[in-house]
Amino acid sequence: MTTARETVLGRVRDALALAPAAGTPVPRAYRTGRTLPDEERLSLFTDRLVDYKAQVHPCTADRTAEVVAEVLRQRGARRIGVPTGLDPQWLTAYDGEVRQDSADIPAPRLDSLDGVVTASAVSCAETGTIFLDGSPGQGRRALSLVPDLHVCVVDLSTVEVGVPEAVARLVPERPTTLISGPSATSDIELERVEGVHGPRTLAVVIRTDV
């Protein structure tokens, strides 16, 4: 009588036998180099973000601080966390308490924050995905996942059309978090539940001169 363990191991052996030999080149004929004018890229990215139920706030670069402060005010965020390398100019209009994050702060304590403000590494317009890579302006993974509100500042110049173009701008060795709208899942009855494994609210401030 075959045991479950033998069945699983047998399937693994079969799969390995069908695998390409070591050193076999992997075809990577992805579509790359796609571009769109700024207006179209912004429109596509915004459409995808809104479809994910993210809040979108386009603004010119000189209004970043004003818009970030307004978003935080609307959400009642009086105590926020920020990564060590966040541009301090983005918070000059905010009159609440700002706490700089540190690896010494246990992740559960981040739940006491009303929200977090971070920068971003690159984004994909086609999928509405924002990439964080742990750079100083983005901070550690826990900072953007524990608080219930994430205000993410995105420069339009970092928004690529598709996934291959976006991934090409990342540093492979850096830890990468992909964000496609607020945290959400659905139960067996397809009832949408938000805030299960990340922020319940995602507000994206898109810096653009369009």
Q: Which of 109, 174, 170, 119 lies closest to 142, judged by CA?
A: 109
pLDDT at 191: 73
pLDDT tens digits for the chain (210 residues)? 578 899 999 999 998 888 877 778 878 787 888 999 999 999 999 999 999 999 999 999 999 999 999 999 999 999 999 999 999 999 999 999 999 999 999 999 999 999 999 999 999 999 999 999 999 999 999 999 999 999 999 999 999 999 999 999 999 999 999 999 887 776 666 777 776 677 899 999 999 986
Candidates 68, 31, 28; CA nearest to 160 is 31
Give the model's pLDDT for residue 208.
92
Query: Residue 161, exposed/middle/buried by CB under 10 A (0-12, 13-18, 19+)?
Result: buried
In this prediction, residue 119 carries a pLDDT of 98
- Least Cα distance to 128 among 24, 30, 56, 35 occurs for 56
Query: What tokens were used for 134?
Result: 């742990």
The confidence score (pLDDT) of residue 24 equals: 80
CB atoms within 10 A of CB 74: 11
Among candidates 100, 200, 95, which has minimal Cα distance to 150?
200
What is residue 17's predicted lDDT score, i.e. its pLDDT?
86
Q: Are strands 115-118 and 97-100 parallel, antiparallel or unpaired?
A: unpaired
The pTM (predicted TM-score) of the whole model is: 0.85
